Amino acid sequence: MLTPIDIHNKEFKRSFRGYNEDEIDDFLDQVVNDYEKLFRDNERLKAEVQQQKENLAQYEKLEKNLKDTLLVAQQTAEEVTANARDNAAKLRENTAKECQNMRREAELNADKITQETNAKLERKLTNAKTQLAGIVAEYDRLVQEKTKFLERMKVTFETELASVNSSLGSMPNLEAEKKSESKTVEGGEKTDADSAAHQEG
């Protein structure tokens, strides 16, 4: 690719009745200035594109980390929920077995022992119901926390995705700018060439 120095140092062979050297020098000076500006703009745009690529890579890495975090959180919530459900089932099973054993014992004893046993059974049943209610409440709380956590993660993902889309949308359209600048330069060169031909005539 030509550099502004290459254009500035370009020399043309002399010929009889050639073009006016001063006009050629002036035109080349103008070309050098315009080309140097385009050259600097091109270098700046390259740097901006590289920066946008790096930003996009960071966003992709952040998105992956968020997805991994959400997956771990979901797995943890599912494990806690499953454990709470298993504990509640075991407690109900153990309570039922204990109640059955106490009933058998009460049936084998006298009326007094039966009354005392029934009273003890009622207390234990009450305690078991209280414990069961606590486990159910804890299960409901965990479900609510899981729902809130997933909603927060969803908002976070949507925010990050919107930021990525915004960054992509703000990236310059290099092809459109190049075409526009090329048309402008070609139009300017054509006008100067026509002017020179008119003066020559």
Quote the pTM value: 0.32
pLDDT single digits (tens) 27-74: 788 888 888 898 899 999 999 999 999 999 999 999 999 999 999 999
pLDDT of residue 189: 54
User: CB neighbours of 176 closer than 8 A, spacing ≥ 6?
Assistant: none
